[in-house]
A and B are shown apart, each in its own frame.
Chain A
Amino acid sequence: MKLTLWTYEGPPHVGAMRVATAMTGLHYVLHAPQGDTYADLLFTMIERRNHRPPVTYTTFQARDLGSDTANLFKTACQNAYERFKPEAMIVGASCTAELIQDDPGGMAETMGLPVPVIALELPSYQRKENFGADETFFQITRALAKPVEKTAHVSCNLIGPTALGFRHRDDITELTGMLADMGIAVNVCAPYGASPSDIARLGAAHFNVLMYPETGEAACRWMERELELPFTKTVPIGVGATRDFMAEVASLTGLTPQIDESRLRLPWYSASVDSTYLTGKRVFLFGDGTHVAAAARIARDEMGFEVVGMGCYNREMARPIRKLAKEYGVEALITDDYLEVEAAIEALAPEMILGTQMERMIGKRLNIPCAVISAPVHVQDYPARYSPQMGIEGANVIFDTWVHPLVMGLEEHLLHMFRDDFEFNDAAGASHHGGHHSTPASETKQPETADAATTGTVIWLDEAERELKKIPFFVRGKARRNTETFAANQGVHEIGIDTLYEAKAHYAR
């Protein structure tokens, strides 16, 4: 058992739902107790879908436990077929049904439904949401995709986008446009928007674009083996990665790489003098493996940040992230425990976090600016406006998204610096009201001082503590840590102003 509060990923059957909901003409019969329908609202609320996910739940209850649950499953399966008349069905068990061992696959097989019924084995107590999506799409592809004649023109499949994916909708649009510029048509995009009959003609493409390894890699590997479809290894997030991706596509197809960079603005924005203050900003990266790897390259090579830590929550991507972290000279953090992530962030005291919804909350707590780069995300990260992460426009979107919290951080800092100004402080009140009703509310932040006094074995003297407060808040954590390390190394037990500045000189870059 493991005590958990926040989970980065849902159970694997939610991954299967993401595939089913992304597709059309497919229905999922899920052997599950009353209550598991909660997952519907992820799709209807967070992603704001205008229809119910194509999932039928058997809704067994305590009184059904015993032989009755098997009949319930069969009835639900039959009714779902008759009501929705899908082209194909997937059947499987949720975590509770896995325990009662009804074998949905075997039962569905004996029913002789006139459409393909694909059984899913999703081990709920070992694996998670991304595995569920990857495995489900792989099983669907394996069952339905057949060798077919290639299209006359060069075409590709877009593989991996699902329902509830972070910016999948717009990534598809962006990639489709970029590939079209090079004369490559999209044969099938799957699972997003594909029907089972579309899956059957996946083999007509000349190659696969693996958009998201987390949710499409197993199917791509199978298609490479069985349908002789090579797949792309570069995920085109960021300027460099997009160029590499197009070069990879060119080498797969024999076409000349062509990118319309007329609307690409990240490189100039990043080069402009206004961005100089971004140099060496210490960032911490966390999310799913794919987005973290892409973000690391953008952060270092395209924004001029210093990557001080990176990690991912999906252990399927542990190996590539460990390797990448080594290249960046940092420790990889592979964990699905947000408390460990919080501890790592606290210890590293970065100036910015690029992470998930969860890291955003950690950032709020620690007063560190944060931008969201990966699922899990909340409703605000399914925006109405066009906002891809991939390709040319994706790079523009990323520049804006990452810089905004920093600019705001700077604004906040300026407000802070001037808060003791005679005409610009909390107590003065709004200027256009004349400030007559102001009440002196000059409470200093006691907790911070109390906290500081007890950190480690060194003691901060009052004057040093006051001096520390004059340092911009977004580097204060780092300064505090460096000074304490410096003091400890020097065998100093009390930190005065001198120690503070000696440490500053010591660590000066």
Chain B
Amino acid sequence: MTRHDAPPPTRGCRDAPVLKQRGQHEVFCGLTGIIWLHRKMQDAFFLVVGSRTCAHLLQSAAGVMIFAEPRFGTAILEETDLAGLKDAQEELEREVERLLARRPDIRQLFLVGSCPSEVIKLDLARAAERLTLRHAPKVRVLNYSGSGIETTFTEGEDACLASMVPALPKTDERQLMLVGALPDVVEDQALDLLAQMGIDKVSVLPARHADDPVAVGPNTVFALTQPFLGGTHAALERRGARHVPAPLPFGEEGTTAWLAALAQEFGVERARFDAVTDAPRARARRAVKQAAETLAGKTVFFFPDSQLEIPLARFLTRECGMQALEVGTPYLHKAILGPDLDLLAEGPQIAEGQDVDLQLERCRAARPDLTVCGLGLANPLEAEGLTTKWAIELVFTPVHFYEQAGDLAGLFSRPLRRRAALHLEAAE
């Protein structure tokens, strides 16, 4: 194998001081995770127990998808539920009965806690237990919280997957588990690469169907495909599984390092590794190179959103030649992101949490060439003359592994190319 990578930086960001601020957070709550999770788990239904605000959030975030008979909904708390005039547990059970009668195809039901249900301390765990007993074996009912007071955006997926771990059957088999919901096409590519290397005892969490065999035990090792899975990481370790630390599979370098960590774990010979990865690596490098022409030398500023920020900053700085000014993340799990932090050269301000007005001041002062932020900030910043890339797209779009590396870089280069292409001043 010929190495094209830049050597790792002499000083990475693992021990860089982290700016921790609190104040107004301009982020989504964990409920939004439902929007991509329900696409992945094809026989699951996500029932939020919450307020009209929760329903409105899902509707706003789901856009047009809401009309396609999606498998999620909200049991809206009404005044009588709060005043204790009705037994909330009974109310919930009645709504679930109606739902399951209407949707007999549902095999897994998630009761998803929200801020209102957490504040009134509605015991959804007990409800899930009772409902599981009643509907077993056909439907399994689980619960987790996607509330804003506890979870930020992608942490909703973490809470969901972590709720599934204790219920997984036990196995002593030596196996690999991939953890994180990926678009099917990406998941298939990952499984194919692993199989070519001879690693074929692989299961995926979350599985596409309730019946797909997923088990866990002391001889299970797991690899994360997403950075925001701290809770699931802990839950799997409690079941005796062991994490294989690696940079996350973004870009050619990230994917190779991620695969290499697993190759080493499973004793794959170097020659075989190279034989499997050389061609897709070259393809990925070629694809990234095109977009990198626009990106090289440009500065980038990340507002916190999904916890993908650090591995993406690593990809953009090392493979696309960008310079990171500030990398904001809602939470920083060093156990998971350590390898990525090692590769991110010292320099950018790492920020955890947010006080959005102060961060906006820093952003305006820095005048980055590209700002990665949420939809509430994107147009206002564009109007101020900054170029933005809205972050949510990075969660919905296939961006992991080799074949998507070029698309990933393209997501960042497109707004810059567009700004260069538009000549609107004369028209005003």
Chain A residues within CB distance 8 Å of chain B: 1-7, 9-11, 13-14, 33-42, 44-45, 48-52, 56-62, 64-65, 76, 79, 83, 94-96, 99-100, 123-126, 128, 358, 361, 364-365, 378
Closest to B79 in A: A125
Interchain CA distance A3-B383 in the complex, whole Å:
40
Closest chain B CB from A340 CB (angstroms): 14
Which residues of chain A come closer than 8 Å to B27, judged between CB atoms? 34-35, 37
Chain B residues with CB under 8 Å of A79's CB are 23, 357
Determine if B31 is an interface residue (Cβ-Cβ < 8 Å): yes
Q: Is B95 an interface residue (CB 8 A)?
A: yes
Within 8 A of A (CB), among B10-30: 23-30
Give the contacts of B84-133 with A (CB-CB under 8 A): 88, 91-92, 94-95, 98-99, 115-116, 118-120
Tell me if B116 and A1 are in contact (CB < 8 A): no
Find chain A residues with CB under 8 A from B52 CB. Answer: 4, 7, 9-11, 95, 124, 128
Q: A-facing mask of B52-72, CB < 8 A → 1, else 0?
A: 110111011100101100101
Inside 8 A of B99's CB, which chain A residues have their CB? 3
Smallest beta-carbon distance A369→chain B, Å: 17
Residues of B within 8 A of A40 (CB): 26, 375-376
Say yes or no: B49 contacts A61, CB within 8 Å.
no
The complex places the Cα of A364 from the Cα of B29 at a distance, in Å, of 32
Question: Is B147's beta carbon under 8 Å from chain A?
Answer: yes
Asked if B150 is an interface residue, CB under 8 A from chain A, the answer is yes
Bound together, the chains give a CA A3 to CA B152 distance in angstroms of: 24
The answer for the CA separation of A45 and B78 in the assembled complex, in Å, is: 30
Please tell me which one of the listed residues A38, A50, A62, A125 contacts residue B51 in the complex, with CB atoms under 8 A apart. Answer: A125
For B210, the chain A residues whose CB sits under 8 A away are none
A76 and B24 contact, Cβ closer than 8 Å, known pairs A2-B78, A99-B119: yes
> Could you tell me the distance in whole angstroms from the C-beta of B384 to the nearest C-beta in chain A?
9
- Most central of A13, A36, A60 by chain B CB within 10 Å: A36
Cα-based distance from A58 to B152 in the complex (angstroms):
15
User: Which residues from B are CB-within-8-Å of A1?
Assistant: 49, 75-78, 81, 88, 91-92, 94-95
Check if A41 sits within 8 Å of B375, measured CB to CB: yes
Which listed residue, B28, B149, B376, touches A61 by the CB 8 Å rule? B149
CB distance from B133 to the nearest CB of A (A): 20
**Min C-beta distance of B221 to chain A, whole Å:** 32
Given A4-B73, A33-B115, do A125 and B82 touch, yes or no (CB 8 Å)?
yes
Q: Does B147 contact A33, Cβ atoms closer than 8 Å?
A: yes
Q: A5-B73, A11-B56, A124-B53 are in contact. Are A33 and B29 (CB under 8 A)?
A: yes
Q: Find chain A residues with CB under 8 A from B294 CB.
A: none
By a CB distance below 8 angstroms, the chain A residues around B95 are 1-3
Inter-subunit contact A62/B59 (CB<8 Å): no
What residue in chain B is nearest A48 (Cβ atoms)?
B379
Residue of B at shortest CB range from A7?
Answer: B55
Query: Nearest Cβ distance between residue B45 and chain A, in whole angstroms?
Result: 11
Q: How far is the CB of B21 from chain A (nearest CB, A)?
A: 11
Q: Please judge, given known A-B contacts A96-B115, A100-B119, whether A6 and B59 are in contact too, CB under 8 Å.
A: yes
A52 touches B51 (CB 8 A): no
Check B379 against A96 for contact (C-beta < 8 Å). Answer: no
The answer to whether residues A52 and B380 also contact, given A34-B148, A35-B29, A95-B51 and a CB cut-off of 8 A, is: yes
- Bound-state CA distance A378–B379 (Å) is 17
Instruction: Tell me the nearest residue of chain A to B47, going by C-beta.
Output: A3
Sampled A-B contacts (5; CB under 8 Å): A6-B59, A37-B26, A49-B379, A124-B52, A125-B51
Interchain CB contact under 8 A, A2 and B76: yes
Contact of B53 among A36, A50, A56 (CB under 8 A): A36
Q: Chain B: interface secondary structure?
A: helix
Given contacts A35-B57, A45-B379, 8 further A-B contacts (CB under 8 A): A1-B76, A10-B52, A10-B56, A34-B29, A35-B152, A40-B376, A41-B60, A51-B383
Q: A339 — nearest CB in chain B belongs to which residue?
A: B102
CA A34 – CA B149 in complex, angstroms?
A: 6
Give the distance in Å from the alpha carbon of A482 to the alpha carbon of B245 in the complex: 68
- B359 CB contacts on chain A under 8 angstroms: none
Most chain B Cβ neighbours within 10 Å, of A33, A34, A44: A34
A96 and B29 within 8 A (CB):
no
* Contact A99 to B380, CB < 8 A, known contacts A4-B73, A33-B147: no
Q: Which of A4, A76, A128 has the most CB of B within 10 A?
A: A4
Asked whether any CB of chain A lies closer than 8 Å to the CB of B377, the reply is: yes
Asked whether A38 lies within 8 Å of B57 as measured between CB atoms, the reply is yes
Provide the residues of chain A in CB contact with B61, threshold 8 Å. 38
The contact string, 1 if C-beta is below 8 Å from chain A, for chain B 129-172, is: 00000000000000000011110100000000000000000000
What are the nearest 4 A-B pairs in CB distance? A35-B29, A35-B148, A40-B376, A50-B383
Residues of A within 8 A of B206 (CB): none
- C-alpha spacing A126/B91, complex, angstroms: 17
CA distance A42 to B60 in the complex (A): 7
CB nearest to A62 among chain B residues: B149
For the complex, what is the distance from the CA of A4 to the CA of B152, rounded to whole Å? 23
Q: B1 → chain A, closest Cβ, in Å?
A: 45
Please name all residues of chain A whose beta carbon is closer than 8 Å to the beta carbon of B26 when the two chains form the complex: 37, 40
Kindly report which residue of chain A lies nearest to residue B50, judged by CB atoms: A95
The one of B28, B55, B57, B118 that contacts A4, using a Cβ cutoff of 8 Å: B55
Provide the residues of chain A in CB contact with B357, threshold 8 Å. Answer: 79, 83
A9 to B73, CA, bound (A): 15
Q: Which of chain B's residues have a CB closer than 8 A to the CB of A100?
A: 119
A-side contacts of B82, CB under 8 Å: 99, 125
Asked if residues B75 and A96 are in contact (CB atoms below 8 Å), the reply is no
Confirm or deny: B42 has a beta carbon within 8 angstroms of a beta carbon on chain A: no
Knowing A124-B51, A125-B51 are in contact, say whether A3-B73 is a contact too (CB < 8 A).
yes
- Looking at the assembled complex, report how far the CB atom of A81 sits from the nearest CB atom of chain B, in whole angstroms: 13
B119 touches A96 (CB 8 A): yes
B67 and A361 within 8 A (CB): yes
- A44 and B379 contact, Cβ closer than 8 Å, known pairs A3-B73, A35-B57, A38-B57: yes
Which of B52, B78, B149 is most buried by chain A, counting CB atoms within 10 A of its CB?
Answer: B52
User: How far, in angstroms, from A361 to B120 measured CA to CA in the complex?
Assistant: 36
Using CB atoms, name the residue of chain B closest to A360: B67
Whether B51 lies near A35 (C-beta < 8 A) is no
A3-B118 contact given A33-B148, A76-B24, A96-B149, CB 8 Å threshold = no
Residue B374 lies at the interface, judged by CB distance under 8 Å to chain A: yes
The answer to the question of B378 belonging to the interface, with a C-beta cut-off of 8 Å to chain A, is yes
Interchain CB contact under 8 A, B116 and A59: no
**A94 to B47 alpha-carbon distance, docked (Å):** 21
Across-interface contacts of B31 in A (CB, < 8 A): 35
In the complex, the answer to whether B53 meets A62 with C-beta atoms within 8 Å is no
- B374 near A50: Cβ-Cβ < 8 Å: no
Chain B contacts of A361 at CB under 8 A?
A: 64, 67
Nearest Cβ in chain B — how far from A475, in angstroms? 25
Min distance, Cβ B204 to any Cβ of chain A, angstroms: 28
Question: In the assembled complex, how far is the CB of residue B186 from the closest CB belonging to chain A, in whole angstroms?
Answer: 26
A35: B residues at CB distance < 8 A = 27-31, 57, 115, 147-148, 152
Most buried by B among A96, A128, A378: A96
Partner of A3, one of B74, B81, B147: B74
Residues of A within 8 A of B56 (CB): 7, 10-11, 14, 39
Q: Give every chain A residue within 8 A of B147 (Cβ-Cβ).
A: 33, 35, 62
Q: For residue B88, which residues in chain A have a CB less than 8 angstroms away from its CB?
A: 1
A64, B148: Cα distance in complex, Å: 12
Q: How far, in whole Å, are A52 and B357 apart by their CA atoms in the complex?
A: 11
Nearest Cβ on chain A to B339's Cβ, whole angstroms: 28
CB distance from A315 to the nearest CB of B (A): 14
Residues of chain A with a CB closer than 8 A to B67's CB: 6, 358, 361, 364-365
B74 (CB) vs chain A CBs: closest residue: A4
User: Which residues of chain B are within 8 angstroms of A65 by Cβ–Cβ distance?
Assistant: 119, 149
A49 to B377, CA, bound (A): 10
Determine the distance from Cα of A50 to Cα of B380 in the docked complex, in whole angstroms. Answer: 5
Complex contacts, A13 vs chain B, CB 8 Å? 53
In the complex, chain B residues whose CB is within 8 Å of the CB of A39: 56, 60
